[in-house]
């Protein structure tokens, strides 16, 4: 699919056509999944569609830049084009955001409401989705506490009902043509000055509504703002339809097409990312799809979860595997040195620059650049990095001619970049450029069942030559009960320490640090914010995992647990312990 816009309206039409195409192809894949013997064909179709979507995304990004440049040249001549350009940029930013959230409806809805708040200067906003029978299936509010949200729901039922009934937008202004006596009591109580509600419709079907209001401004919503919200809701409907298809497909495909770790290793070799947990395998499956492409990837997760290992694995499984993999930690280099490290410099660029030196980006030409701690990148350098992503060009310090570079960028962070955007610390356009695909690595506390396998891996990796170690069940139990704030990196350090201090060939609890050997306190600390039901569920999962690990067969595990085998399999399904 190609994108060849000549105007903002044409580009919007191309976007909608693209989303329609992808929606239709998802329908075809759904039919394949429902057909006996078509599972392999469905897998191939999904992989092909995934690549097509990423390619479309790249083409779109380039054409957006071209169109934005064209509009920018006309800005001084035509005020109307300036406004159109601003709204186009908002729509495009939203589209890119939607595409990145195709695996999470809640995250996509949050992105929608944030975009509306910034663009329309709203105080509160609300998205409500309905099922085929008109019942509310999902709702999310922004800038509302629980009490206010209920009151907004009470008041908004009227405007939502009117919107859904006629599939037409509704606007209300306190000082407008409606006397205050005709306005709902809840609207007056909440001091809502103006409100607007627009249906989210696609192909004649209403999926729900999006509602926004103003409480601190008497300014009513204009026809122009209403028109923008209607265009926005149309784009949202397409993205939402794709999101719903993706969620349904993901559930069905995972049940039929789930690759075991052994099968996954055949297509995505990553021996240093150890584990068989569902949380890890879900991430690896997406990484396997992304690796052969050139799209940017943003890896998120707590410190010590293995973000650099994931970046290296993506590079090693890509078509660039024989080219350089260059890393730079954006938080470890002082700001005044980071620019020259990244972009290089020409001879004479500053005192002491006797000869030219290429930067990390140039060194990664035709390969992969890994930007660790991208959240620490200074705003002045964010704009220069954005140029590399947009045009494949950089300009060294002291240089006058842009240099072309062909580089794939993978970035990582343990910070919340969306919060940084709201605080004005990170560029939103750069965020969406980096985050074409986001991979979130789970914390070790979210995949405790991988701890024994990780321990064995680290014992083999760090044991002195000629010595063979094992670890006792009681020591494994201690490790499983610990909270692991430092994640896998902390676990590796603990095992290295234990191998040094261990007097025998078996690691026992006494060989572990004191803070690790307090499982009761750590377990209670971890469960402190959980309800009793949640704490009981977590204990059941851990206990079943431990019994499974120390049993030779599932029949033995069922006997030790005092349940029959069919109920054990039900428990394994419930807790995701198939592996």
Answer yes or no: do 73 and 128 share one domain.
yes
Answer yes or no: do 42 and 154 share one domain.
yes
Does any domain span residue 16?
Answer: yes
Does any domain span residue 385?
Answer: yes
CATH code where residue 473 lies: 1.10.8.60
Buried b (16+ CB within 10 A) or exposed e, 167-192: eebbbbbbeeeeeeeebbebbeebeb
CA triplet 104, 108, 111: central angle to 5 degrees? 145
Give dist(CA 277, CA 450) in Å, integer: 6
Residue 127 lies in domain: 8-253
Return per-residue pLDDT of the chain as tens, 579 residues.
544 555 555 666 666 677 677 767 777 777 776 677 777 777 777 777 777 776 676 666 666 556 555 555 555 455 544 555 555 555 555 554 554 444 456 666 777 787 788 778 888 888 888 877 767 777 777 765 444 555 555 555 667 777 777 678 888 776 655 544 455 566 666 778 888 889 888 777 788 888 888 888 888 888 888 888 888 888 778 777 766 666 665 555 444 445 567 777 778 899 999 998 889 998 998 899 899 988 899 999 998 999 999 999 999 999 999 999 999 999 888 888 898 899 988 887 777 777 888 889 999 999 999 999 999 999 889 999 998 988 888 888 887 788 899 999 999 999 999 899 988 999 988 998 899 889 999 999 999 999 999 999 999 999 988 888 999 988 998 898 888 888 999 999 999 999 999 888 999 988 998 878 754 444 444 555 677 877 788 888 877 876 776 565 777 788 778 888 788 888 888 887 765
Does any domain span residue 3?
Answer: no
Residues for the chain: how many in total? 579
CATH code where residue 425 lies: 3.40.50.300
Domain stops at, among 442, 458, 491: 442
Answer yes or no: do 476 and 331 share one domain.
no
Spatial CB neighbours of 220, under 8 Å, sequence gap ≥ 6: 171, 173, 175, 176, 193, 194
Answer yes or no: do 206 and 123 share one domain.
yes
Answer yes or no: do 453 and 571 share one domain.
yes
Read off the pTM: 0.58
Number of domains comprising the chain: 3
Query: Quick one: tokens of 310?
Result: 């994931």
Decide if 390 contacts 382 (C-beta within 8 A): no
Does any domain span residue 130?
Answer: yes
Domain stops at, among 389, 413, 442: 442
Does any domain span residue 551?
Answer: yes
Give dist(CA 101, CA 438) in Å, integer: 9
CATH code where residue 96 lies: 3.30.450.40
Does any domain span residue 491?
Answer: yes
Answer yes or no: do 84 and 227 share one domain.
yes
Does any domain span residue 172?
Answer: yes
Answer yes or no: do 273 and 382 share one domain.
yes
Domain stops at, among 427, 442, 457: 442
Give dist(CA 162, CA 281) in Å, integer: 46
3-state helix, strand, coil in the chain (%, to 5): 55, 10, 30
DSSP secondary-structure letter at 269?
A: -
Decide if 148 contacts 187 (C-beta within 8 A): no
Answer yes or no: do 156 and 236 share one domain.
yes
Answer yes or no: do 220 and 277 share one domain.
no
- Report CA torsion sign: 223, 227, 233, 236: negative
Answer yes or no: do 176 and 319 share one domain.
no
Does any domain span residue 51?
Answer: yes
Answer yes or no: do 452 and 435 share one domain.
no
Angle separating helix axes 105-120 and 223-257, nearest 10 degrees: 170
Answer yes or no: do 436 and 449 share one domain.
no
């Amino acid at each position: 699919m190609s994108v060849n816009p000549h105007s903002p309206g044409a580009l919007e039409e191309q976007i909608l056509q693209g989303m329609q195409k992808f929606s239709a192809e998802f329908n075809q894949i759904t039919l394949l999944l429902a057909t006996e013997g078509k599972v392999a064909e469905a897998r191939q179709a999904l992989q092909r569609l995934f690549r097509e979507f990423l390619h479309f995304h790249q083409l779109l990004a380039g054409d957006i830049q071209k169109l934005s440049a064209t509009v920018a040249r006309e800005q001084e001549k035509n005020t109307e084009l300036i406004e159109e350009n601003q709204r186009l940029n908002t729509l495009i930013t939203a589209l890119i955001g939607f595409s990145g959230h195709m695996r999470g409806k809640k995250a996509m809805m949050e992105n929608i409401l944030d975009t509306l708040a910034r663009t329309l200067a709203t105080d509160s906003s609300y998205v409500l989705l309905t099922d085929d029978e008109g019942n509310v299936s999902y709702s999310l509010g922004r800038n509302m506490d629980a009490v206010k949200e209920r009151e907004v729901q009470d008041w908004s039922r009227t405007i939502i009902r009117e919107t859904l009934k006629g599939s037409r937008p509704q606007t209300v202004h306190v000082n407008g043509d409606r006397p205050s006596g005709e306005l709902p009591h809840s609207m007056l109580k909440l001091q809502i000055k103006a409100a607007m509600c627009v249906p989210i419709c696609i192909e004649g079907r209403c999926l729900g509504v999006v509602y926004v209001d103003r409480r601190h401004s008497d300014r009513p919503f204009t026809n122009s703002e209403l028109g923008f919200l209607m265009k926005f809701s149309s784009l949202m409907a397409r993205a939402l339809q794709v999101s719903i298809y993706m969620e349904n497909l993901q559930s069905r495909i995972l049940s039929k097409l789930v690759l075991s770790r052994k099968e996954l290793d055949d297509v995505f070799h990553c021996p240093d990312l150890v584990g068989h947990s569902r949380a890890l395998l879900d991430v690896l499956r997406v990484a396997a799809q992304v690796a052969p492409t050139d799209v940017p990837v943003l890896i998120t997760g707590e410190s010590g979860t293995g973000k650099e290992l994931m970046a290296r694995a993506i590079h090693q499984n890509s078509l660039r595997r024989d080219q350089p993999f260059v890393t730079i930690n954006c938080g470890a280099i002082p700001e005044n040195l980071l620019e020259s490290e990244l972009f290089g410099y020409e001879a004479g660029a500053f005192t002491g620059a006797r000869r030219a030196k290429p930067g990390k980006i140039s060194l990664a030409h035709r390969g992969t650049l890994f930007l660790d701690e991208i959240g620490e990148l200074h705003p002045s350098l964010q704009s220069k990095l954005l140029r590399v992503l947009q045009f494949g060009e950089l300009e060294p310090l002291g240089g006058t001619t842009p240099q072309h570079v062909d580089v794939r960028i993978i970035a990582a962070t343990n910070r919340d970049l969306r919060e940084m955007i709201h605080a004005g610390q990170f560029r939103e356009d750069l965020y969406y450029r980096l985050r074409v695909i986001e991979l979130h690595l789970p914390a070790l506390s979210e995949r405790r069942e991988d701890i024994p396998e990780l321990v064995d891996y680290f014992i083999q990796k760090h044991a002195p030559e000629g010595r063979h170690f094992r670890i006792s069940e009681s020591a494994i139990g201690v490790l499983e009960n610990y909270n692991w704030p430092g994640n896998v990196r902390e676990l590796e350090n603990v095992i290295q320490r234990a191998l040094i201090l261990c007097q025998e060939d078996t690691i026992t609890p006494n060989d572990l640090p004191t803070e690790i050997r307090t499982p009761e306190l750590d377990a209670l600390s971890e469960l402190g914010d959980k309800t009793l039901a949640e704490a009981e569920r977590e204990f059941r999962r851990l206990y079943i995992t431990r019994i499974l690990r120390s049993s030779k067969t599932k029949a033995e595990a069922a006997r030790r647990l005092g349940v029959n085998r069919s109920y054990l399999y039900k428990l394994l399904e419930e807790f995701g312990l198939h592996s």
